[in-house]
Amino acid sequence: MNAHLDKNVQSIVNRCRALLFPDFFAAGREGWQESCRQSLKIELAETVSHCFRSLDRSGDADVIASDFVAALPSLRAKLDMDVRATYNGDPAAETVAEVILCYPGIRAISSYRIAHLLYQAGVPVLPRLITELAHSETGIDIHPAATIGESFAIDHGTGVVIGETAILGNNVKLYQGVTFGAKSFPLDADGNPVKGIPRHPVLEDNVIVYSNATILGRITIGHDAVIGGNIWVTEDVPAGSRVVQSPKKYF
């Protein structure tokens, strides 16, 4: 990433946060929102166009930028549910404002949802730059292509990894150190990994995964299942199950 593009990515994320959480990240001067939307649209279009050109790809950057800005209210509604899930799930959270301003999980989730919109629009490189910026800020690594449902919560968060083809349902909650990775992947005739195939886990609704659990491969964790801490999971888990370590015996 060159310095100019790095600065643009940070600016785009900052403008998005100001529009998504205006009570916390905006200057509040009269008429600022329309000005911010227009500035975001211009800067995003320029950056998207640069990303297309750098990879010799084609795309209408102006349309993508306009559609993105128009989608921000619906994105705000999703993030409101993420914030509420995080607040309700953490007794240490005293206010919603604290969650929005301080919690690395919300910072990473908001960057992911911004990046995912751009990924769905076919923008190359930029979505990954946005999530990698959040990765450097929070220690939470979410690939922009992952599919994540509503009311998503990450408590603490450091060391969380969510791979490209992972699918998470609604009301999923993760703790620090959780990994959704690939168990293995096929190679082509030249010995290179085959791209684009499903290789990460599927989590159904209302799943909780505790700290340092590792879930690998295209397996399904059924709804309302609980995965305990420090567990290695490589097979399907039935709905409503609890997967925990065997209790230690002391003599």
Instruction: Work out the number of other CB atoms within 10 angstroms of the CB of residue 112.
Output: 26
Average pLDDT of the residues in 117-125: 98
Of 19-23, 60-64, 203-207, the range with the lowest mean pLDDT is 19-23
Domain encompassing residue 70: 1-139
- Do 101 and 161 lie in a common domain? no
Q: Which has more confidence, 32 or 177?
A: 177
- Do 1 and 36 lie in a common domain? yes
Is residue 251 scored above 60 in pLDDT? Answer: no
Is residue 6 scored above 90 in pLDDT? Answer: no
- Do 6 and 88 lie in a common domain? yes
- Do 134 and 14 lie in a common domain? yes
Share of the chain above pLDDT 70, in %: 95
Average pLDDT of the residues in 27-45: 87
* 3-state DSSP of the chain: CCHHHHHHHHHHHHHHHHHHCHHHHCCCCCCHHHHHHHHHHHHHHHHHHHHHHHCCCCCCHHHHHHHHHHCHHHHHHHHHHHHHHHHHCCCCCCCHHHHHHHCHHHHHHHHHHHHHHHHHCCCCCHHHHHHHHHHHHHCCEECCCCEECCCCEECCCCCCEECCCCEECCCCEECCCCEEECCCCCECCCCCECCCCCCCCEECCCCEECCCCEEECCCEECCCCEECCCCEECCCECCCCEECCCCCCCC
| Among 87, 121, 139, residue at a domain's last position | 139
Query: What is the tens place of the pLDDT at every residue in 224-248?
Result: 999 999 999 999 999 999 999 877 6
Q: Which has more confidence, 2 or 100?
A: 100
Parallel/antiparallel/unpaired status of strands 202-203 and 167-168: parallel
Q: What is the pLDDT of residue 225?
A: 98
- Do 104 and 217 lie in a common domain? no
Q: What is the pLDDT of residue 173?
A: 98
For the domain that residue 151 is a member of, what is the CATH number? 2.160.10.10
Is residue 40 scored above 70 in pLDDT? Answer: yes
Q: Give the total number of structural domains in the chain.
A: 2
| Among 139, 154, 169, residue at a domain's last position | 139
- Do 95 and 150 lie in a common domain? no
- Do 170 and 120 lie in a common domain? no
- Do 134 and 150 lie in a common domain? no
**Cα 105 to Cα 84: distance, rounded to the nearest angstrom:** 12
For the domain that residue 72 is a member of, what is the CATH number? 1.10.3130.10
- Do 38 and 92 lie in a common domain? yes
- Do 121 and 156 lie in a common domain? no
Residue 66 CA: distances (Å) to CA of 44, 50, 75, 118, 145: 9, 16, 14, 12, 21
Residue 238 CA: distances (Å) to CA of 128, 183, 204, 219: 33, 19, 10, 11
Q: What is the pLDDT of residue 191?
A: 86
